Structure 1
Amino acid sequence: MGIDIAKDTHVAQATNFRGIVLSKRHLSFSYTIEGFEKLMQWVEGIGQKNCLKGLVIGMEPTERYGFNLANWLSTKGISMVMVNPATTKRNKENRDNCQSKNDPKDALVIADVINRGFYYEYSRQAVVFQRLRTIMSDRDYWVTNSVRLQNRIIRWIDFHFPEYFSVFKDWTCKCSMATLREFIFIMRIIDLNSCAVVNHGRWPSDG
C-alpha cells in the first residue's frame, strides 16, 4: 500500500504483489486519529476481500505529516517502509507513460516502488532523539536566516556607506551598532565633523 502524504488529507492506494490495484477507488483520509482509524478499517476490508496475509505500507519521508502516521501504524504491528521521493518521481511514467501528478496516482506509484523493492525499513526513534532532531532542524533554520539577514545588512551598509568598513572592521561591535542606530541615514552624518559625530546623541549629563 502506498500513501501520499499531505498537510490535511492523505491518499492511499493498494495493490497486490503483481501491481494489480485492489480497490476500485482510492481512500482519502484526514490527518486525525479518526482518519487513521478509517485507514485501518479500509485496509482490513481489502485484506479480507482479497484473502491477503501480509501488508506493507509505504510513504515518502515528509517530516511531521508522515511520521505521526508512521508511528501510529508501527504501534499496530504493521510493517512500515519509506521510499525516496526521487525514486517515485522517476517511476511516474511506469503507470500511464505520463509525468502528470495527482494524489491518487502518487500513492499508486509509491505502492509500485515498494513492489520493486526500492524502499528502506522505517524504525521509530525514541522521543529524545525525535526532540533532538527537531532542535537541530530549528537551529539550522535560524542560523540560515541569521546569515541571510546579516548579508542583507552588509549589502545596505555597502550601498549607503561605502567607507564604513574602513572605520569598523566588524559591523556587529557595540560602537558600530550605536553608530548605525544614531545615523540610520547618510544625511544625518554627512554635514557633521568628527567631534559632532562623537558627541551626537549624548545626554546633557554625559558632558
Structure 2
Amino acid sequence: MFYIGIDVGKRHHEVGVIDEKGQPIGKTLRFENSKSGSEKLLEFFNQHQLAPDNSVIGLEATGHYWLSIFSFVHKLGFKTTVFNPLQSDSLRNFYLRKTKNDVKDAYLIAQVIRIDSPDETPFIKEDLLKLRHLERLRYSFVDQVSDIKRKVISLLDQVFPEYEQLFSDTFSKSSTEVLMNYTLPEDLLEIDPQELANLLQEASNGRYGESRALKKADQLRESTLNTFGITIGTDVFKLQIQLLLEQIQLIEKHLKEIEEVMIEISNRQKHYLTTITGISDVTACVILGEIGSIDRFERPEQLVAYAGLDASVHQSGDFNSSNTRISKRGSPYLRRAIWQAAFVASNHDPALSLYYQKLRKRGKAHGTAIGAVARKLTHIIFAILRDNKPYEPRPQLDT
C-alpha cells in the first residue's frame, strides 16, 4: 500500500509518496492549482503506478483551496482523507512533535495517513456545497447591514440627535420612510402634519392608526424645534443618510432572495434540525452547510471542537487558570449559528432552559452558561443528524 500526501496551497500544491514502511518513493512533485497541474499530477500517479486499489490520499483543508484537488482525486476513485488541522488526533500530534528534521509537509501528511489509517472523507453533496456558499454570503451581507446602520446612527447623532428616541426601531419601515423623504429637521418643519401622518400610516401598513400617526407627526415636529444638531454642511449629511438607507434596502432585498433559495435547498435534505427550539430554517441551513456530512465526525466532541465551542484552558508552569473560555477555533459560521440558537433555547427549550437555570443558580456567569448550553446543543445536533430523528426534549433528566 502507498500513502500519498498533498500539501495544499493557493496557487501550487505539493505531493509526496511513501511506502508501508514510511520510506519516501522518489521525489515530491510541485504542481499548479489548474487543469494543467491536475494533468501533471495524473502523470505523477501513472509514473509511480499509483491507483485507487493500492494507494490512499491525505490532504489538509487549507482555506477553500483544497476543494478542487479533493474533487479531482475523488473522481479518480482514490480513498481520500481531508484533515482539518484543528481536528488532528493525539497520534498525529505526537508525530508532529517528534519530527526534528526538515520533513516536507507532503511527506508528513502521508505519514499521518500511514500511521493513523483515518476514515475516508465523504464527498460533500452538491446541495450542501451550495448551502455553504449561500449561508456565508448571507452572513457577510448581515454584517454589512449592521455596519451601515451604525454609520447612519452616527450621522443622525450629529444632525438630529433626538431622532433615535422617536422610534423603537430607527430602521423600521415607518422610520426609514420618514428619513428617506424628510431626513433633516428643517425638512420635517416644511411638511404639513397631516401629510406626515398619512405617510406614517401608509408606511406602517395601517399599524399606525389616524390618531396615533398624528401624535407621532406632532412628536417629530416638536423634536425638530428643539433639536441640538449641527446646522452646517447638512446637505452632505442628508445625502449620506439617504444613500446608506438605500444600501440597506438593497442588501435586505438580496438577503431575502438568498434565504429563500437556502431554505428551498435545505428542505430537500429531510433533516430534523428545526425540531430543536432555537433553530430556525435559516439557522438549520448554516448548520447543514458548515457540517456537510455528519459522517466526518465519529463523536459529538469532534463536532464541538470543529465549531470552536470546546474549552480553552490557560496553563503555564504552576499556574492553572480557573477561568475557561471557548477556543473560538474551527468554523466561525457554525459557532455563530449554534451560539445564537443556544441563546434562544436557554429561554424557551424545556430541557435546555432548565440546564441554563441550573448553571446560573450554581453561580455561573450568563456567557459561561450559554456556552455550556451551546455545547450540549451541539451534542443534540450530532445525534439528530446521525440518527435522522427529530429532537425530543427530556427535561426530567438530571443534566
TM-score (norm: length of structure 1): 0.68
Structure 1 residues 113 and 163, CA, compared in 2 at 3 Å: closer, same or farther? farther
Give, in angstroms, the shift of residue 56 of structure 1.
1.0
Give, in angstroms, the shift of residue 47 of structure 1.
3.9
Equivalent residue number for residue 174 of structure 1: 177
One-letter amino acid matched to 1:16: D
Matched, 1:142 2:186: no
TM alignment of 1:124-135, pairs within 5 A:
124-135=123-134
Select the structure that is richer in helix.
2
Query: In the aligned structure 2, how far is the partner of 1:121 from the partner of 1:19?
Result: 20
Give, in angstroms, the shift of residue 81 of structure 1.
1.0
| Matched residue SS, 1:73 | helix
Equivalent residue number for residue 23 of structure 2: 20
| Cα deviation digits, residues 166-207 of structure 1 (max 9, x gap) | 234322222134454788x832499xxxxxxxxxxxxxxxxx
Give, in angstroms, the shift of residue 57 of structure 1.
1.0
Equivalent residue number for residue 37 of structure 2: 35
CA RMSD of aligned residues (A): 3.5
Give, in angstroms, the shift of residue 27 of structure 1.
0.9
TM-score (norm: length of structure 2): 0.38
| Cα deviation digits, residues 21-45 of structure 1 (max 9, x gap) | 222x321111122211211221232
Give, in angstroms, the shift of residue 69 of structure 1.
1.6
Q: Which range moved further: 150-159 or 166-175?
A: 150-159
Equivalent residue number for residue 10 of structure 1: 13
Give, in angstroms, the shift of residue 157 of structure 1.
4.3
Structure 1 residues 8 and 174, CA, compared in 2 at 3 Å: closer, same or farther? same
Structure 1 residues 20 and 146, CA, compared in 2 at 3 Å: closer, same or farther? farther
Structure 1 residues 74 and 189, CA, compared in 2 at 3 Å: closer, same or farther? closer
TM alignment of 1:60-71, pairs within 5 A:
60-62=60-62, 64-71=64-71
Listed as ranges, the gaps of 5+ residues in structure 2 are 187-228, 235-399
Matched, 1:73 2:73: yes
Query: In the aligned structure 2, how far is the partner of 1:165 from the partner of 1:108?
Result: 61
Matched, 1:187 2:189: no
TM alignment of 1:74-153, pairs within 5 A:
74-86=74-86, 87=88, 90=93, 92-96=96-100, 105-117=104-116, 119-153=118-152
Indicate if the aligned counterparts of 2:160 and 2:184 stay in contact, CA closer than 8 A: no
| Matched residue SS, 1:12 | strand
Indicate if the aligned counterparts of 1:2 and 1:12 stay in contact, CA closer than 8 A: yes
Structure 1 residues 65 and 47, CA, compared in 2 at 3 Å: closer, same or farther? same
| Matched residue SS, 1:59 | strand
The aligned length equals 180
Query: In the aligned structure 2, how far is the partner of 1:9 from the partner of 1:54?
Result: 25
Query: In the aligned structure 2, how far is the partner of 1:189 from the partner of 1:162?
Result: 16
Q: Which range moved further: 159-168 or 130-139?
A: 159-168
Listed as ranges, the gaps of 5+ residues in structure 1 are 99-103, 191-207
Give, in angstroms, the shift of residue 92 of structure 1.
4.1
Indicate if the aligned counterparts of 1:60 and 1:85 stay in contact, CA closer than 8 A: yes
One-letter amino acid matched to 1:187: T
| Matched residue SS, 2:41 | helix
Query: In the aligned structure 2, how far is the partner of 1:111 from the partner of 1:20?
Result: 10
